[in-house]
Amino acid sequence: MEEDYGFSDFKIKRTPSVTEKKVTSTRRPSTASSYARNAGGTSSVTGTLSRSVARVIKRRKHVVLLGLDGSGKTTILMRLKYDAKLDTTPTVGFNHEKIRAGGFRWSAWDVGGGERVRSLWATYTRGTDGVVFVVDASANADTMEEARLELARIMKVQLLAKAIAIEMGRTPPPLLVMANFQDRKQARSAPAIAKCLSLPVEGQAPPSGAVPVSCWAVACVCAVTGDGLDEAFATLRHLIDNGATQPAKRKKIPGEWWR
């Protein structure tokens, strides 16, 4: 003896046991999904999955890597993604990878640093949680000045984004400068990089042409070996979560950085 429940989208047949009583229902679910919901199945499973996905998305932060061509942005991204030094070519457009660094998940965008691509930088900073500006710590004075001008330009664009973020009750994205290629003898220290880029220092008069940014840090890293990258992203995550409101706690962050 078989019973046909006659669902609209598919049929379920079963053979009842001898002792089972036949139950007649005047209300039948019209679809398999509604049947499962009535049984307490998919609603609880779907809800659990949705909450899990939401937690993962909430934990993952969006970050954009900017900097002049040849500063090592793509090498940094590939090092974090594959934990290896990979041969890279100059980025014409952008690269995107989901990575883990500093104990956190990141959605990272590496944007090309060529002159023709720099006009697109502002587009990639919209809605980002943090801005990473990569510089070649061993570059000559002219290249450092070019980097300073480009950083100042993109940070001026961020002033408008900052005003919008504050209006919406959001924390403006902080700036992390990565002083790359620390394996080279002529590489500058974090304080020297901050001075070259005219970053404002708390308690001091802003230098001429100071970059308009209030929450920033400089981290010394090496994309070739991977040294300092985890510490740098841990610093960035701390700045994202706490801003410039907890300087005492920020001093406990591992890695060399200067504010």
230 marked ligand binding residue:
no
Q: What is the 3-state secondary structure (H, E, C) of 118-153?
A: HHHHHHHCCCCCEEEEEEECCCCHHHHHHHHHHHHH
Question: Residue 171: is it exposed, middle or buried by C-beta count within 10 angstroms (0-12/13-18/19+)?
Answer: middle
67 marked ligand binding residue:
yes
181 marked ligand binding residue:
yes
72 marked ligand binding residue:
yes
> CA 163, CA 72: separation in Å to the nearest integer?
31
> CA 65, CA 157: separation in Å to the nearest integer?
16
69 marked ligand binding residue:
yes
> CA 190, CA 139: separation in Å to the nearest integer?
14
199 marked ligand binding residue:
no
68 marked ligand binding residue:
yes
40 marked ligand binding residue:
no
Q: How many residues does the chain have?
A: 259
Helix (H) or strand (E) holding 108: strand 104-111
Contact 175, 129 (CB under 8 A): no
73 marked ligand binding residue:
yes
242 marked ligand binding residue:
no
182 marked ligand binding residue:
yes
71 marked ligand binding residue:
yes
140 marked ligand binding residue:
no
> CA 158, CA 177: separation in Å to the nearest integer?
15
| Other Cβ atoms within 10 Å of 81 Cβ, number | 16
- Tokens describing residue 200: 């404002």
The closest alpha carbon to 213, from 247, 162, 169, 258, belongs to 162
* Residue 215 φ/ψ, nearest 5 degrees: -115, 105
Annotated binding site: 67-74, 91, 113, 180-183
Annotated binding site for Mg(2+): 74, 91
Annotated binding site for GTP: 67-74, 113, 180-183
